[in-house]
Amino acid sequence: MVGIPCSGKTTRANIIAKYLQENLSLEVIVINEELLGLNKVEYYKDSTQEKILRGSLRSNVEKYLDQKRVVILDSMNYIKGFRYELYCLARNSITNLMVVFCDTDREVAQKLCHEGGYENPFPAEYFEDYANRLERPNQSNRWDNPLFHLRYNEETPLEDIAKTVSDGKKPRDPISTKPVNQALQKVIGTYVCHKLYL
């Protein structure tokens, strides 16, 4: 899940989780700051604390990530470098990854944040800061692909998301870790043996 504060990420994450559990009989785990007992307003207002928070979120995703369950990270995930780290975790676990971008106008999100009955709304000064720092997902980046770009009033495409979960392609291995083909291995082996006997 990606989006500014109060953009509907938690609501959509819970809807997606329920749909996948009921229609695909999958185990789904939704990870967020509240589940970890963390006050996100306190963590996000200090950059050092925010790094600790991201590390905690990342390690919890890694703990639950495997091919038998779906993990939904319900957090801002506004930094593309962090999304790349999550992509690498998925690739290393040989599992699918997708990004759901809750694209809500700032004014709407800010109004929801302060009038929507949130227990811990983001203070206005932090809200603007994080809205400004959002690095929007881009489908051309492999770590943001597949991307579901959802506007505020748009229905969540549950069937398409479920299809991506069940049929989605696994992230590719980086070229540097691909196995060397046999012909090349033979040439390298011959060269090494030749050098050893010289």
Please state the domain extents for the chain. Answer: 9-171
Domain 9-171 coded CATH 3.40.50.300 = yes
With tokens 């749909």, the residue in question is: 19
Q: What is the pTM of this model?
A: 0.82
pLDDT tens digit string along 129-142? 889 999 999 999 99
pLDDT tens digit string along 90-108? 999 999 899 999 999 999 9
Token pair recorded at residue 14: 């819970």
198 Cβ contact list (under 8 Å, min separation 6): none
Distance of CA 129 to the CA centre of its chain: 21
3 state DSSP class of 99: strand
